[in-house]
Copies of this chain bind each other. A is one copy, B any other.
């Protein structure tokens, strides 16, 4: 049986690997799980003995297929929980992360099934992150890119928002930059400040927006814009695009 701690490392490696490809460095893992590098080295050894990662000393680590499956299971739990909390217990999308982190290691398979089915097998969580399927196959790459890489004049749909930082999330929530919203980039200033215009085209999360539904202009610092991924508006294909359970409740 794997400990919670191991599951956390595996999840961290998976996410890092997805963001920037393998191999993943010791220090990147350390940073993400909030431990020191020696601790990570030693855990990596354990994980390697168990066949969950492969690593090359001084280079970095990579999940084995088994390790990836475990990571996807944890991620599925995490994102299903986030979706459930937002949809059934009235959490706002910026609040769900921490609770899901605490619970993700402790739910049974039965619980997972019941939650998934209560929600109708949602494809994405409230931040727009894809929820791995019950088969635990890695999700296909999507066609999103960071908001910082969009050209001025483009109209795009907010696809997802990194759930790493609470303050960022609050900021974006107040700014109305939520998954599913369509915006147009009107300016990219020095230092990466991105200005967008647009607003929710369906109901927003959490407390309701003010009446001006849709044409606010927002300027986002680069640090925040970089945490937002977008996709082209014209996208309509079945799985990812419009429905997909994004708009909580």
* Residues of chain A whose beta carbon lies under 8 Å from any beta carbon of chain B: 85, 88-91, 95, 98-99, 102-103, 106-108, 110-111, 114-115, 118
Contacts and interface: CB of A to CB of B under 8 A. Distances in A.
Nearest to A115: B89
Contact of A102 (B89, B91, B95, B106): B106
B98 A102 contact: no
Contacts of A85: 111
A98 B108 contact: yes
Nearest to A103: B106
Q: Is the interface of A mostly helix, strand, loop or mixed?
A: helix
A48 B167 CA distance: 40
A89 B106 contact: no
A3 B226 CA distance: 37
Contacts of A110: 95, 99
A19 to B, nearest CB: 27
B107 A103 contact: yes
A111 B88 contact: no
A98 B110 CA distance: 11
A118 B89 contact: yes
Contact of A90 (B95, B106, B107, B114): B114
A102 B102 CA distance: 11
A36 to B, nearest CB: 20
A106 B108 contact: no
B103 A89 contact: no
Contacts of A98: 108
13 contacts: A88-B88, A89-B111, A89-B114, A89-B115, A90-B114, A99-B108, A99-B111, A102-B106, A102-B107, A103-B103, A103-B106, A103-B107, A106-B106
Nearest to A88: B88
